[in-house]
């Protein structure tokens, strides 16, 4: 039986450019230039500063042939923005694939009070008139997550945008998918089940969260309607440490933090 090596520490680099949406050209500290996978389908507005310090994860596992076939070995994880006077500024996790794992671990650790004790089953389909696939189904703690009817559904969104100092926002561009999820969550609530939306704020300079009505007014309006219909909406900060020892308890050094106030107006 083969044993996979422990996760590797993140690798520091300098961002040159993002292109073709899912590619990022970077330069390692030793001078080597390479292209990393950018797992972020959004616009990444305000985050793509040429020359910014970034961190990469390395997917290569000598004992797993599937990783040998990956076209891009490295993935872009974090960007450090420039602060006032050119010094270090906000640290932002830009790999949107991290949000679900961070949310799952945070819920399991009891960091989301409204969800304490619940079991999560991933990739839960909703087959209402507004069909959708939610990130998690909510189950009673005594039940096996894969068995029985769920108590409700949880959708997780990664929020890395900031349009004003100290405030994170979502989305960073028009999101038809996000609008569909909100309509489906309202259906879930009308069916008498819990419908929960959790914004995982993946930047360390946010003290509040709000919908980005300037960029997607339809989403902002739907979010208010969903809240009025009984959908539970929460936003939580993240602790981001690219130097943290790698391990499964903090994907890429990211852990779920405290709840943030949500500003709807």
| DSSP3 helix / strand / coil % (the chain, rounded to 5) | 20, 40, 40
175-229: pLDDT as tens digits: 999 999 999 999 999 999 999 999 999 999 999 999 999 999 999 999 999 999 9
What is the number of other CB atoms lying within 10 angstroms of the CB of residue 116? 12
Per-residue confidence (pLDDT) for residue 92, from 0 to 100: 98
Per-residue confidence (pLDDT) for residue 68, from 0 to 100: 63
Per-residue confidence (pLDDT) for residue 5, from 0 to 100: 52
- Asked if 135 contacts 100 with a C-beta cutoff of 8 angstroms, the reply is yes
Residue 157 tokens read as 């969104």
Question: Domain 11-93: which CATH class?
Answer: mainly beta
105-162: pLDDT as tens digits: 999 999 999 999 999 999 999 988 888 999 999 999 866 655 688 999 999 999 999 9
Q: Which CATH architecture has domain 98-259?
A: 3-Layer(aba) Sandwich (3.40)
234-249: pLDDT as tens digits: 999 999 999 998 788 8
Output the CA–CA distances (angstroms, integers) from residue 233 to 70, 197, 209, in the order listed. Answer: 37, 5, 11
Q: What percent of the chain has pLDDT over 70?
A: 94
20 by Cβ neighbours in 10 Å (0-12 / 13-18 / 19+) ranks as exposed
Per-residue confidence (pLDDT) for residue 2, from 0 to 100: 44
pTM reported for the whole predicted model: 0.93
SS3 126: strand
Output the CA–CA distances (angstroms, integers) from residue 126 to 78, 131, 150, 195, in the order listed. Answer: 32, 6, 11, 11
The pLDDT of 68-91, averaged and rounded, is 87
Per-residue confidence (pLDDT) for residue 7, from 0 to 100: 66
Q: How far apart are CA 76 and CA 65, in angstroms?
A: 22
* pLDDT reading at 265 higher than 60: yes
* pLDDT reading at 3 higher than 70: no
- Asked if 134 contacts 18 with a C-beta cutoff of 8 angstroms, the reply is no
Cβ-Cβ contacts under 8 Å for 17 (sequence gap 6 or more): 24, 25, 48, 50
Please report, for the chain, the start and end positions of each structural domain, with discontinuous segments joined by +. Answer: 11-93, 98-259
What is the number of other CB atoms lying within 10 angstroms of the CB of residue 129? 7
> How far from each other are the two terminal CA atoms of the chain, in whole angstroms?
56
Per-residue confidence (pLDDT) for residue 6, from 0 to 100: 56
């Amino acid at each position: 039986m083969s044993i996979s090596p422990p996760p590797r520490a993140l690798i520091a680099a300098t961002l040159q450019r993002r292109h073709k949406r899912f590619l990022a050209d970077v330069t390692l500290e030793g001078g080597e230039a390479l292209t990393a996978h950018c797992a972020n389908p959004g616009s990444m507005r305000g985050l793509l500063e040429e020359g910014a310090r970034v961190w990469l994860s390395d997917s290569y596992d000598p004992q797993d042939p599937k990783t040998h076939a990956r076209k891009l070995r490295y993935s872009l994880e974090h960007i450090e923005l420039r602060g006032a006077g050119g010094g270090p500024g906000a640290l932002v996790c830009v790999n949107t694939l991290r949000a679900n794992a961070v949310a799952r671990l945070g819920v399991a650790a009891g960091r989301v009070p409204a969800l304490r004790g619940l079991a999560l089953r991933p990739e839960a389909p909703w087959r209402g008139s507004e069909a959708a696939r939610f990130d998690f189904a909510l189950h009673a703690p005594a039940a096996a997550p894969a068995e029985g009817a769920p108590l409700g559904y949880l959708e997780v969104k990664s929020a890395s945008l900031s349009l004003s100092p100290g405030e994170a926002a979502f989305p960073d561009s028009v999101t038809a998918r996000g609008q569909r999820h909100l309509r489906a969550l309202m259906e879930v609530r009308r069916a008498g089940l819990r419908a929960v939306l959790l914004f995982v704020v993946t930047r360390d300079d946010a003290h509040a969260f709000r919908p980005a009505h300037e960029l997607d007014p339809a989403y902002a309006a739907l979010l208010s309607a969903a809240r009025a219909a009984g959908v539970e909406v929460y936003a939580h900060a993240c602790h981001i440490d690219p130097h943290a020892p790698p391990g499964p308890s903090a994907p890429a050094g990211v852990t779920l933090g405290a709840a943030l106030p949500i500003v709807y107006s």
